[in-house]
Structure 1
Amino acid sequence: MGDALEGTPYRAVRVLGRGGMGEVVEAEHRALRKRVVVKLVRRALAHDPRFADRLQVEARALAAVSSPHVVAVLDLGQTPSGRPYFVMERLRGTTLGEELERRGPLPVAEAIDLVRQVLAGLAAAHRVGLVHRDVKLDNVFLCAPGAAPGGARVAKVLDFGVAKVLDGAVAEAAPGAEPSPSVPAPAYPTEAGLLVGTPRTASPEQAQCQPVDARADVYAVGLLMYTLVVGHGPFAHVEDALALLRAHVVEPPAPPSRYAAQRIPAALDRAVLKALAKRPEERFESAEAFAAALGRIGAELAEEDGSGGAARMPEAEAGWGPQSRAWFEARPEGSSGAGAGGGVAAGAGEAPVDARLFAGLTLASTVVFSVLAALVLRGMGVW
């Protein structure tokens, strides 16, 4: 390919993706030899002020958000041929969509951790007056373990290309911190009556082309949480775009536990369904509130796993009836507290047996069997 960044401080290395409005390329700073990612307006649209405005709003919006869970913007400029561009940090890893396709549904605790990181990034955006409006698996990047201290995997929210700048938004700053830069409203705002976002993850108010606020992102994250633990969203059975939008507006979603192959805590069912409420005022009031609820659920799961007193039911037994579950989970009095099924090598669910009692019973049964055998042989005249 030709160097789309000729005449800038950056050298294009390879194309990472193309969309209707622009393209994304991996690039290298010519002097520093540092790899970055550059987003440019498509060549054919470079001189349309609407697209240049949209790209600049996205860049300035990202620059205004200070969070380790939102991709960082490093530079903003224009090529000599007139193509506006902005520069982002180069991330290593996969999108959540790719991760789900590779692994299938994620364990509940892991999914909660990743979704709370997404909510932290969105909360930072909401504080400066930005609503993402397109939160989905492919817009969340899961950084490779080596990219974070301690080897932890960090989730970062990407692509604020259709973000909504709320009217009258004022950037907030933590005490003692420098104020965040303000986010300018687009000079060419989205026309009324147009759907903004992706039908599969649109909130009911987006589906009806109504005004949105931060609770539209809460809805989208509810869909994200659902999909991560189940493997698909609540409306996976709907294919037609118009029918899908109608489902968001009127069809009650089933709880994740109905379709999941793993145990879903009742509290998580309730939290996800609250995030997916049709009316914004019935959802969590903010990304922080949703994250706090998930944090409590995650802490309860960690306590269960650590104490062993309420061990998780194996996935294969998730569909058992109440009596079978009660038998599986039962423990004899005076046991050490290890959950049922803890000793897999000895047989899941078996109660411990006293070794001396077992030996005595074995000896007694051997003596009885010997006496009976002797009597039988004597009766037959053999002995």
Structure 2
Amino acid sequence: MWLNEMQALAAVQPHPHIVGMYDAWFDTDTRGDAEQAYIKLELCGESLGDVVKRRVPLREPEVLEILRQMASALRRIHEVGMVHLDVKPDNIYTAAGPAAPSRDREHAVVAAQAAGLSGAIYKLGDFGLAAMPGGQRAGTSEGDAKYLAPEAFKSHNFLSSGFADRLDIFALGASAYELLRGSELPKNGPSYHDIRGGKIFLPSASAQLVLLLKKMMAPDPSQRPTAEQLLRSPLLRPPQPSGSLQPSTSLPLPMSQ
């Protein structure tokens, strides 16, 4: 799984909303003859799982910003033919601090757009369960059951269904649902199955956001949007400040080692 994470992370670098990987190597384990894996990663702050544990629901604008940034990360992951398979609040981190100082105006605009109106930057990490192109992966786990789409229970061949990327979309929708609830999703029982049947109850959220989450968590994976379609949703389009530059989307955020 360590080697799987090294390869998966390397394949999607660099991206402003994916935890940065700076180095990876194997060295002799001092406790025996085996080798120990090391990965040098970007330092991040707390995870959104810590936010859930505090049982304080996030406001709708914050959750929309998280959805936008994570959809951007998933678009990159899916573009290279990979599926993350472990999208959840525990694996979404806040950036440890403000973006690195920009040397020119274009870099400053890219950093500001990546952070959104709230100024917060979120990073998706933990690629240990990621399925590489062709459906190859190190382990047999499908990820955390609380965020697992219903098709993963119905067939062992869900990764070759043609809709494997929609597993990540379901998990992202379930994560957003949990953050808006301010409490953990059920692990089993009738409520667990109700969620996978499309029953979502969020009286404090707008009808537009509830509809978006229902699409992301649709029981039929073919009815869920792709990451690219999510980013084109009017709800996730960040307002453009007047007079701002429109930089190339391929320009990464500056990250220092």
CA gap of 1:280–1:227, structure 2 versus 1, over 3 A, is same
Q: Aligned partner of 2:230: which letter? A: F
- Partners of 1:162 and 1:127 in 2: how far apart? 17
Q: Pairwise CA RMSD of aligned residues?
A: 2.8
Cα contact 1:195–1:207 (8 A) shared by 2:
no
Count of residues in Structure 1 that have an aligned counterpart in Structure 2: 215
- In the TM superposition, residue 246 of structure 1 has moved relative to its aligned partner by 4.8
- The match for 2:231 is 291
Report the CA distance shift for 1:203/1:210 in structure 2 as closer, same or farther (over 3 A): farther
2:243 counterpart residue number:
none
What does residue 249 of structure 2 align with?
none
Conserved? CA contact 2:200–2:210, under 8 Å: no
1:120: Cα distance to partner?
A: 0.9
How far, CA to CA, are the matches of 2:191 and 2:131 in structure 1? Answer: 22
* Match 1:69 to one of 17, 26, 32: 17
SS in 2 for 1:130: coil
In structure 2, distance between residues paired with 1:288 and 1:195: 26
What CA deviation, in whole Å up to 9, does each residue of 1:237-267 have, x standing for no partner? x444x76775565x3322423xxxx3x2211
TM-score, structure 1 as length reference:
0.51
* SS of 1:252 mapped into structure 2: coil
SS in 1 for 2:98: helix
Point out the more displaced range, 110-119 or 88-97: 88-97
Retained in 2: the 8 A contact 1:109–1:298?
A: no
Q: Quick one: which of 145, 151, 157 aligns to 1:205?
A: 151
Q: Distance in 1 between matches of 2:212 and 2:200?
A: 13
Find the counterpart in structure 2 of residue 314 from structure 1.
none
- Separation (CA, whole Å) in 1 of partners of 2:4 and 2:190: 32
Partner of 2:48: 96
Instruction: Show the counterpart of 1:166.
Output: 133
When residues 232 and 166 of structure 1 are mapped into structure 2, their CA distance, relative to the original with a 3 A threshold, is: farther
Cα drift, residue 102 of structure 1: 3.8
| Conserved? CA contact 2:231–2:237, under 8 Å | no
Matches for 1:1-383 after TM superposition, within 5 Å: 54-66=1-13, 67-81=15-29, 82-102=34-54, 104-147=56-99, 152-167=119-134, 185-186=136-137, 190=139, 195-208=141-154, 209-212=156-159, 213-232=164-183, 236=185, 238-240=186-188, 246-247=193-194, 249=196, 251-257=197-203, 262=204, 264-284=205-225, 286-293=226-233, 296-297=234-235
Please tell me whether the aligned partners of residues 218 and 290 of structure 1 are also in contact (alpha carbons under 8 angstroms).
no
Question: Residue by residue, what CA displacement relative to the aligned partner does 1:75-102 show, whole Å, maximum 9, x if unpaired?
Answer: 2221223324132324231101113334
Cα offsets for 1:27-60 (capped at 9, x unmatched): xxxxxxxxxxxxxxxxxxxxxxxxxxx3212101
Q: Which structure has the greater CA radius of gyration?
A: 1
- What amino acid is the match of 1:165? M
Mapped partners of 1:227, 1:141: distance in 2? 15
SS in 1 for 2:134: coil
In structure 2, give the amino acid aligned to 1:94: E
Segments of structure 1 that go 5 or more residues without pairing to the other structure are 1-53, 169-184, 304-383
Match of 1:319 in 2: none
Q: 2:4 & 2:22 partners in 1: Cα distance? A: 14
In structure 2, the CA distance between the partners of 1:75 and 1:61, relative to structure 1 (3 Å rule), is same
Task: Kindly provide the CA deviation profile for residues 54-79 of structure 1, in whole angstroms up to 9, marking residues without a partner as x.
Answer: 32121011011031111122222212
The question of whether the paired residues in 1 share the 8 Å contact of 2:19 and 2:125 is answered with: yes
Residue 246 of structure 2 aligns with which residue?
none
Report the alpha carbon displacement of residue 103 of structure 1 after superposing the two structures with TM. Answer: 6.9
Q: Unmatched 5+ residue regions in structure 2?
A: 101-110, 241-257
2: CA distance, partners of 1:71 / 1:141: 8
What is the TM-score when the length of structure 2 is the normalising length? 0.73
Say if 1:87 and 1:78 are closer, same or farther in 2 by CA, change over 3 A: same
C-alpha distance in structure 1 between counterparts of 2:200 and 2:51, whole Å: 24
Q: Distance in 2 between matches of 1:206 and 1:248?
A: 15
Is residue 92–residue 147 contact of structure 1 (8 Å, CA) maintained in 2? no
Contact 1:73 1:86 in 2 (8 A): no
> Shift of residue 139 of structure 1?
0.5
